[in-house]
Amino acid sequence: MAERKLFGTDGIRGRANCHPVTPEIAFRLGRAVGFLLRQPETAKEPTRFVIGRDTRRSGPMLESALVAGLSSIGVDAQLAGVIPTPAVACLVRELEAAGGIVLSASHNPAEDNGLKVFGSDGYKLDDLLEEHLEELIISGEIDTVRPVGAYIGTASEITDPLRRYAAIAKASVPGMSLHGLRIALDTANGASVWTTPHVLRDLGAAVDLFHSSPDGMNINAGCGSTHPEVISRLVLETGAQIGISHDGDADRVVLCDELGDIVDGDEILAMTAVDALKRGTLAGRTLVATVMSNFGLDECIAKAGGRVLRTGVGDRYVVEAMRAGDFSIGGEQSGHLIFREHGTTGDGLLAALQVLRIMTESGRPLSHLRRILKKYPQAQRNIHVREKPPLGSLPEVAALISSAETELGGKGRILLRYSGTEPKVRLLIEGLEEKVINTAADRIAAALKSSIGS
């Protein structure tokens, strides 16, 4: 695979109005994706793309440039406005569009933004298509493609896009009633500020809503799924039976049980996969997870009669494996959960609804249901970096990793990788003894900070 110049593990991501997340790149992306995915001229309908965004201040700026790019290549833009990322994937399929583009940097701070592309099937583009897009954006190969007159694209607003998505979400749990349930909800001042509370209340829940006043700069700021301690506190303050916390574009979720304890993506995967195994609906009796997921997940699913298939980090790689094997449930420890029976990408609302369904059907509290997963101790460290040299070129780090592997004695693992969306290096050590793995993690993190830390 060619070295990426623009695309990371989840689209084009970075500081808004700085390369590569600039209006100029958004314009060229619009032209490139419109050219690459446009429908044939013989099609009954003109080529259309759905565009959605989160609540960042830079969203309208990039949206305008994107629309100009699409229009200039002869493609119509259908604007969904502020809406969760998974909703765009749903709308692409419902409206039979040629693709969709989301302007969001997910869990990143407000100063960042990103551009994520979906194909006509509602799935994120694969590596080969993204490489082709990069070539078209950078090379200028299509600069002379200039439709004129009636062949220039137009822009229009989608009618009631939020209610369309809400209806799709509710249809994933037919007949479920949440009457009598109190839910604490943190929408991270992001794109789910209307959809998630609307769906939960429509199903009968009493919802205590927090961080629901976006101002363009407060998305993810001290709230949302990257600050799980917040939803823990809110659950205890409100007396809720469950807490739900999204990131800025609501493609992920972190839950909290009634005791104030955080429930992560691995625990959600365990609960939903075991439930599906019992009902005979887990396709191939296989759950898809990444290498970051706790090894306890493998033991949990095996005990229930299934297996775990692991992929590289990133929900797109989980989805690719799910599609290749026709599997139904997959996700990440971070809270990206995919239920292919209902959606094509990580969806925080759909994931929360599946857990709520299990709670209501079983009559058991979340604190009980989560016990199905017995976790191995993990130590994780995220270090900001000023550069990203090959990790194998850092001798002190390599020596410390080798020493830690010896100490683990084959009963654990060490994962070290650069983030595909942020200037960070991520370290995970898993083993049987917390003191051993935390000591090793601190030593390796210190060496990383010394050599490449910012």
C-alpha angle with apex 248: 246 to 254, nearest 5 degrees? Answer: 20
| Alpha-carbon 376 to chain mean position | 24
Residue 411 neighbours by CB under 8 Å, 6+ apart: 431, 432
Spell out where 97-241 has E strands.
Answer: 99-103, 112-119, 155-157, 182-186, 206-210
Q: Which residue has the tokens 């090959």?
A: 390
DSSP character string of 45-96: S--EEEEEE-S-TTHHHHHHHHHHHHHHTT-EEEEEEE--HHHHHHHHHHTT
The yes-or-no answer on residue 106 being catalytic is yes
Picking from 121, 113, 152, the residue whose alpha carbon sits closest to that of residue 22 is: 113
User: Which among 71, 1, 61, 65 is positioned nearest to 35, based on CA atoms?
Assistant: 71
**Cα angle 285-289-295, degrees, rounded to a multiple of 5:** 95
Q: Is the bond leading into 20 cis (omega within 30 degrees of zero)?
A: yes
Q: Which residues pair with 289 in a beta bridge?
A: 310, 331
State residue 244 phi and psi, 5-degree precision.
Answer: -125, 130
**In 76-215, which residue ranges form alpha helices assigned H by DSSP?**
85-94, 127-139, 161-171, 195-202
> Backbone phi, then psi, for 412, in 5-degree steps?
170, -175
Q: Which residue has the tokens 């075991």?
A: 274
10 Å CB burial of residue 284 (0-12, 13-18, 19+) is: middle
- Which among 58, 106, 192, 293 is annotated as catalytic? 106
* Active site members: 106
